[in-house]
Structure 1
Amino acid sequence: MAASIITTEDFETFKIDLLQEIKKIVESQTSARPKKWLRSIEVRKLLNLSNGTLQNLRINGTLSYTKVGGILYYSYTDIEKLLEVNKVQALPTLFK
């Protein structure tokens, strides 16, 4: 079995190639758009809500929905708006 010598330049080339591959993977995942309409189970998982809490959001008009043949659908943009409207701004820290 022949021994091969790995140089610093080999490591640099490997590092650059690896970083480029990681960058491609991250960009492909972040550019993937979420679905426009989500079912109840997807909303519950996304927001970590119980069935009852999601039902309360529907009943009190906090979160709009569409019902098609017994299946409830929620707009992803409506969910984003709900989160944005209810966002609490962080207080500036006294000591930095």
Structure 2
Amino acid sequence: MAVEVITREDLNEFRTLLLNDLKEIMHSKTQQAKKWLKSNEVRKLLNISLGTLQNLRINGTLTYTKIGGIMYYDNADIDKLLNGNKVNALPTLFK
């Protein structure tokens, strides 16, 4: 049976690779958004009041699903709302 010697450099290289892999895993987990958000999460995400969120529901701007008194909002609908209301900045014209 052959004996293989592991050096400090080998261990440091392994540590670096392992840390990079863990960082990638953690980064991909944070990138994955929740499918359904509760009202308080939507309010924090959009930085709006409870009344504003209610107005968005009432006028049909933001769809929701109500289950047992709790309202859930589809994250994709929030993205559509934000992307649909984009405003292109026009360059300021000097006279």
Deviations 1:26-68 (A, max 9, x none): x445423111000000000000010000000000000000000
For the structure 1 residues 24 and 92, does the alpha-carbon distance in structure 2 shift closer, same or farther, using more than 3 Å as the test? farther
- The runs of at least 4 consecutive aligned structure 1 residues that moved more than 3 Å come to 20-24, 27-30, 92-95
Structure 1 position 93, deviation (Å): 6.0
- The aligned counterpart of 2:28 is 31
Paired with 1:75 and 1:53, the residues of 2 have a C-alpha distance of 17
Percentage of pairs with the same residue? 64
Structure 1 position 84, deviation (Å): 0.2
For the structure 1 residues 70 and 30, does the alpha-carbon distance in structure 2 shift closer, same or farther, using more than 3 Å as the test? same
- 5+ residue gaps, structure 1, are 1-12
- The aligned counterpart of 2:83 is 84
Amino acid at match of 2:28: S
Aligned length: 79
Report the aligned-residue RMSD: 2.7
Please give the TM-score of this superposition, normalised by the length of structure 2: 0.68
- The aligned counterpart of 2:67 is 68
For the structure 1 residues 29 and 94, does the alpha-carbon distance in structure 2 shift closer, same or farther, using more than 3 Å as the test? farther
